[in-house]
Every structure is written in structure tokens, then in C-alpha cells.
Structure 1
Amino acid sequence: MEDNKWNPLSVEEIHDLFRTIPISWWIAGGWALDLNVGRKTREHDDIDIVIVRDEHLTLQAHLHNQWDMYKAIKGQLIPWDKDEILQVPIDSIWVKKKGDKVWAFQVMILDTEGDEWEYKRKNTIRKPIKDIGLCSPTGIPYLRPEIQLLYKGGSSVLRGKDTVDLENVLPLLANSELRWLKDSLAEQFPTGHQWMDQLVK
């Protein structure tokens, strides 16, 4: 992305900002996995939040006075006009404080059907929206670890930090979470995935 310079908000700052907005939201990315582990396991260059598509205009209405928001389209960042509905496949919003030149956080939009979340890379992989998140002891919502690991493992480029995240979280996964992750990766990658041998207990 152009001008990819970050001074990300902390998890606590995101919580303070988002808890005043009447939408469902969850910390995502590496920070979600660290919230699950209960400690910071590595450095993070940015911070991601996920929301459901039906609520993206509510988010905009609450942020537009103090924040500049851009939609990511084919590697470019384009200003998100007020009251502009973002249709599929647009699913990424970059946000910075008005007047700042660095990004503060990124919002990813989740697609849903009825009361179910749909995995964007294989829409037969689903969970009830009410079951996609957990909450930290301090009340911070975050994406369930098996879902976040699916997003990482299901990417077209598997990064070193993704494997590190898997190794940090794997011992903490319940058998049901591990089985769901393994089954979901198998559904997306029927010819095999390099994590499969690790997804055993």
C-alpha cells in the first residue's frame, strides 16, 4: 500500500475508541492471538479490527469528524466518501487521525449471511456471528484464535510471523478449536497445507 507508515494505536486505545460505537467489533491479526495467549509474544507493526459489513456506515458516522478513512482497492488507498456504501469485494479500511501522515489502525469487513459469518476465501466455511469472538479478562473483544489462524494460514503468502503465531497459540487450542482449524484448512486446500502435520495433539 502507498505511504505504508504506521504509528498504531495500542489495544487499550482501540478499546477506548470502539467501545463508544454501537457496533460489534473484535481485535484481529497478531494482537488477537496475543490477547488469547495473555501476553505480547512479538512486535506488531500495525493493529487490525474486524466488523461486520452491515455496520460499516455506523462506524464511519462515529469516526468521520476526527479520523480520515480510506478504502483499499487493488493496492491503492482511496478516500472513503461520507455515507458511501462499501460493496463486496471491498473489505479493508485504513484509518489515520485527521492531519496525521501515519496510519493508526485498519478495519477489516467481515461478510455475513443471516446470522452467520462467511470465510471470504471459501464461503462454505462458516460460524454463527455470536461465536466468532472471545473477550480478554479486561473486556477487550478479539477474534477467536482458530479463525484468526485460518486467515493467516489461508493466505496466498504464508509469512514467517504467521508460523510463529501458530506455534505460540497451538498449545492453548482446545481439541474442538484445533479440529475446526484443521478441517477448514483441508476444505480450502484439499491437496494439502504445510501446517497439517502440526495440527495434532
Structure 2
Amino acid sequence: MRDHSSREAATPVPEAVAYVRDLFLDFRPAWFLCGGWAADAWLGRQTRDHCDVDIAVFHPDQHAIFEHSTSPPTSTSPSSEAPCPPRQP
């Protein structure tokens, strides 16, 4: 998820998504935003509150994401995010 454009994003990148993007700046395999934030990005607006950021990688790259996720982050996690409420059945 690398932004090679020189133009400003049409909509601001939410803090949680920007945090994940920054964590994966040096991750070489392709990775993808998925789940609720991906739907919101496609729509161009936030449709609801999100408690997580879902990403996906191709199956052959699973080992790389596990290795990458064991290294310490270079920045702190977003502090303004409230914890997820319990899911309703």
C-alpha cells in the first residue's frame, strides 16, 4: 500500500489506517487493506466506527508478515482510539 502519487489524498487517511500503513512502509511483499476500512475507502467516507484495521497478504507471504510483525514498531499506536465494545450476538 504505497502512495507514489504527489497529489494530496481526496479524503484524509484515518489515524488507525495511517498507523498500519506506517508499520508496513518497509514491508516488501504486497499487502492490502480489507474489511470495514477498505469498504469505507472505496466509498470515500467513513460509514461507521471501526475497532480494528484488517489487512491481507498473499498466502506465500504469510511467513514474511509474521516475521515483520515480531519486530518492534517504530512509532506508538494511536491513543485516541477507544477500545472495541463487545460484539453483540
Alignment partner of 1:62 out of 68, 76, 88: 68
Q: Partners in 1 of 2:29 and 2:23 — Cα distance?
A: 12
Q: Partners in 1 of 2:35 and 2:19 — Cα distance?
A: 16
* Letter paired with 1:61: E
* Letter paired with 2:25: R
1:73-100 CA distances to partner (integer Å, 9 max, x unpaired)?
xxxxxxxxxxxxxxxxxxxxxxxx8xxx
Secondary structure of residue in 2 paired with 1:50? strand
Counterpart in the other structure of 1:21: 27
Question: Are 2:45 and 1:39 equivalent residues in the alignment?
Answer: yes
Secondary structure of residue in 2 paired with 1:16? helix
1:4-59 CA distances to partner (integer Å, 9 max, x unpaired)?
xxxxx701111111121011111111100100111211111222101111001111
Which structure 2 segments of 5+ residues have no match? 1-14, 78-82, 84-89
1:109-158 CA distances to partner (integer Å, 9 max, x unpaired)?
xxxxxxxxxxxxxxxxxxxxxxxxxxxxxxxxxxxxxxxxxxxxxxxxxx
Q: Partners in 2 of 1:18 and 1:63 — Cα distance?
A: 9
Give the superposition deviation at 1:62: 2.0
TM-score, length-scaled by structure 2: 0.59
* Letter paired with 1:19: L
More strand by share: 1
Q: Identical aligned pairs, as a percentage?
A: 31
* Letter paired with 1:53: H
* Letter paired with 1:59: I
- Which structure would you say has the larger RCO, counting Cα contacts within 8 Å and 6 or more residues apart? 2
Counterpart in the other structure of 2:57: 51
| Equivalences, count | 61
**Greater Rg by CA:** 1
Q: CA RMSD in A?
A: 2.2
* Letter paired with 1:17: L
Runs of 4+ in 1 over 4 A off after TM superposition: none
Counterpart in the other structure of 2:87: none
Where do residues 151-162 of structure 1 align in structure 2 (5 Å cutoff)? none
Which structure 1 segments of 5+ residues have no match? 1-8, 68-96, 98-102, 104-201
